[in-house]
Structure 1
């Protein structure tokens, strides 16, 4: 196992005379054994950053270190990492055992050692009864576990996960998230996990890197990112539904954006009068989509609170200790 350091990491692509910078000076110190999630929308640079750690993309500037070694010039095979991809990349003609053992055979690991490592990984991932099957005989979730097993047997210093759950349905995604958490607790290997799904990020991460257009907007625990977003982008991206960001709320100052999460608006006899447009029923709670003047606003109502009629006026009071202020020009937290 090892720590992972990203120091002013930059990525540029050149096409003819044109140069495009897609990663802008990312800095992050990831501790030995830590599980860090890189999250952001499509095209934000999160997979590019992961591929630079893996050695699949060259670094245009800065340093990447695994433990004490700067790995900028090292080939992927020399970095002692194992990667789990979105598409599983299993050999269809090989059994589960042979898929998991393939990398060890290429590395000329002794047969007894291969059997021991594969059996241990199969036990952890509950694949023992599937070792003789071919990938076509497996479900999507089982194939993903085989791909993780292939990474585990390598006994790497760092695991890299590139959106590994994207091909699974919602139920399997939730189940596999729990398996990944369990796996990390058992193995304790430093892990970097890329996803565009902020719920996935919040549930898996010990700390998370929030990316936007090649910039690292925030690096912190899920609680820090949710409760004290560093920018309006983070506030709007993390949270389902996202934070309300208001330019013209009562009491707001010029040049400032006021932020309030939907669950921190309480129905009250006095406060902000909002016009109800639609009401979403989500099991034990409801989301009220409304307007405060000319701005959209979402209010989360919990079980037992009556649903307002569409077209009616609802009065809500923001919790003062849960208000957030952002600079209207830069989007930075004030």
Structure 2
């Protein structure tokens, strides 16, 4: 196992007037054995960053180290990493055993050692009964476990996951997330996991890198990212539904700068008889909870309530109160978090 260190990493395509900078001066230290998720919207540069760690993309500036070695000029095969992709990349004519063993055979690992490693990985992933099957005989979730097994048998220093759950349905995604968590607990291998799904990021990460337009907005634990977002972008991206961001809200009344953006999460608003008057537009029933969508002036506001709270009438006026100590403030020009006491 090994740490991963990024020092002022930059990626550019083109040159001169046509240059396109897609990764902007990213520095981060991922500790030995840590599971870090890189999350952000499509096109933010998260997969490009992962591919630079893997050696599949060249670095324009900066330095990447895996353990004590600077790997900028090393080929992927020399970096002691294993990648898991979203498309499985299994050989259709080979059995599950042969798919998992293929890289070891190429490396001329003795057959006895290959069998030991494959059997151990198959046991961890609960695919021991599938070893003689071909990929076409497996479900999507089983194929993804085979792809992970192929990575495990290599016994790398680092796992790199590039949106590995994207091709699975919602139920399989949730199940496979649990399997990946269990896998990391058992193996403890340093892991970088890329996803656009913020729920996936929150449930898997020990720490997470939130990216936006090639920049690292925040690198922190899921709890801190959710409870103390470093920018208005993070606040709006992490959370379902996202944080309410009010540009013309009642800021001064709550001790915030009058020209700042006021943030409040839907679950930190309470319906009552006092507070901000809002015009109710729709009410979503989601089983054990409701989402009330309303307007405060000309800004949209979402309130999360439980099933025991009576739903306000649609098109009627309701009142909401923010929870004390749960307000967030962001600079209107930069979007960065403001510490307001």
What TM-score do the two structures reach when normalised by structure 1? 0.99
Partner of 1:228: 228
The answer to whether structure 1 residue 144 and structure 2 residue 151 are counterparts is: no
**SS at 1:58 equivalent:** coil
* Structure 2 partner of 1:318: 322
Who is 1:51 aligned against? 51
Q: Residue deviations 1:23-76, cap 9 Å, x none? A: 001111000000000000000000000000000000000010000100000000
SS at match of 1:185: helix
Deviations 1:280-325 (A, max 9, x none): 1111000000000010000001120011110111111011200000
Match of 1:291? 295
Residue matched to 1:239: 239
Q: Distance in 2 between matches of 1:282 and 1:199?
A: 17
- Hey, what does 1:111 align to over in structure 2? 111
Work out whether residues 273 and 292 of structure 1, in 8 Å CA contact, stay in contact via their aligned partners in 2. yes
The alpha-carbon deviation at position 15 of structure 1 amounts to 6.1
SS of residue in 1 equivalent to 2:229 = coil
Deviation at 1:17, TM superposition (A): 4.9
* CA shift for structure 1 position 247: 1.1
Correspondence 1:129 to 2:129: yes
In the alignment, which residue of structure 1 is the partner of 2:178? 178
Q: Quickly say closer, same or farther: Cα 1:255–1:238, change in 2 above 3 A.
A: same
* Distance (whole Å) between structure 2 residues aligned to residue 95 and residue 15 of structure 1: 46
In the alignment, what sits opposite 2:8? 8
Gaps of 5+ in 2: none
- Asked whether 1:260 is paired with 2:269, we answer no
State the match for 1:279 in structure 2.
283
Aligned to 2:307: 303
Partner of 1:269: 273
Distance 2:326 2:287 in 1: 25
Structure 1 runs not aligned, ≥5 long: none
Equivalent residue number for residue 64 of structure 1: 64
- Give 3-state SS (helix, strand or coil) of 2:325's partner: helix
Q: Following the alignment from structure 1 to structure 2, what is the Cα–Cα distance between the partners of residues 6 and 303?
A: 46
Structure 1 residue 188 and structure 2 residue 188: aligned? yes
The offset of 1:268, in angstroms, is 2.3
1:149-160 matches, cutoff 5 A: 149-160=149-160
Matched residue SS, 2:273: strand
The two structures, once aligned, show a CA RMSD in angstroms of 0.8
Query: Which residue matches 1:163?
Result: 163
**Conserved in 2, the CA contact under 8 Å of 1:88 and 1:144?**
yes
- SS of the residue aligned with 2:275? strand
In 1, Cα distance between the equivalents of 2:107 and 2:15? Answer: 37
**Count of residue pairs the alignment pairs up:** 334
Task: Between 59-68 and 253-262, report the one with greater CA deviation.
Answer: 253-262
* Alpha-carbon separation, structure 1, partners of 2:70 and 2:305: 51
Supply the distance in 2 between the matched residues of 1:160 and 1:304 (Cα, whole angstroms).
44
Distance 2:56 2:126 in 1: 31
**Is residue 255–residue 329 contact of structure 1 (8 Å, CA) maintained in 2?**
no
Q: Equivalents in 2 of 1:106, 1:17: separation in Å?
A: 45
Q: Distance in 2 between matches of 1:323 and 1:17?
A: 44
Shift of 1:251: 3.3
Secondary structure of 2:94's partner? Answer: coil
Contact 2:251 2:260 in 1 (8 A): no
Is 2:99 the counterpart of 1:99? yes
Measured after TM superposition, the shift of residue 186 of structure 1 is 0.2
**If the length of structure 2 is used for normalisation, what is the TM-score?**
0.97
Distance 1:140 1:62 in 2: 38
Question: 2:335 aligned with 1:328, yes or no?
Answer: no
SS of corresponding position for 1:193: strand
In 1: Cα distance, 2:333 partner to 2:48 partner: 28
Contact 1:285 1:303 in 2 (8 A): yes
